[in-house]
Amino acid sequence: MNGYTAHAIPPATLEELRAADDAGRAPVPTTDDEGGAPLRCCLRHSRPGELIALVSYAPLRRWAAATGADPGPYDEQGPVFVHAEECAGPETDGLPFTDSHRTLRRYSADGRILGGRLIGDPGAFAYALREAFDDPAVALVHVRAVEYGCFLYEVPRP
C-alpha cells in the first residue's frame, strides 16, 4: 500500500516474550478453538486449533531502546496475541487488519506522540498513512484496534 511496510514483532523479541512478557509474567499458551485473534507475530488472524498466548508488550519502549529515544510518559504496555511457539512470520508484505476501524498514532523520533487519527472507513487507511508521513516530524505510526486500543503493528517512515 504505497510503499508502507507493517512491522510484526521481531523474532528475537518474540522469543523473549514467550519466556516472560514485558510485564514480567510467563505466558499461558492456550488452544484457540474459534480462531480470529489478531496475531502480532505473523500479522494474520489465528486459525482454529492454533496454540496462542496473550502477552503484555511495550512496543514504544522496545523501539526507543533500539533507537536511543526516550518516550517518557508515552511508554506503555498492553496485551497482544502471538503464537505460543515459533512461527514463520508474516505471510505477506501488505498492511494487515485494515478492514475495520483503526487508530493511527503518530510518534516523533524522540518517542513523543504527535497526534492520532481515527479511521472509520477502511478505504481511508492509505490516505491517513500518507497524511501522517506528510509531517516530516513523524518517525513511525502505530496502528491500533479501536475496540480495545491494542497495538497491532508499527509502520516506520518509508
Phi, psi values for residue 121, rounded to 5°: -115, 115
DSSP state of 24: S
pLDDT, residue 149, reads: 86
Q: Please choose, from the candidates 88, 70, 79, the residue with its C-alpha nearest in 3D space to the C-alpha of residue 28.
A: 79
Distance from C-alpha of 45 to C-alpha of 156, rounded to nearest angstrom: 22
* 45, 82 contact by CB (below 8 A): no
Mean pLDDT by runs of 10 across the 158 residues of the chain is: 86 97 97 97 97 97 92 92 96 87 95 93 90 96 92 95
Distance from C-alpha of 56 to C-alpha of 53, rounded to nearest angstrom: 10
Which pTM value belongs to this model?
Answer: 0.92
pLDDT, residue 12, reads: 96
* 132, 138 contact by CB (below 8 A): yes
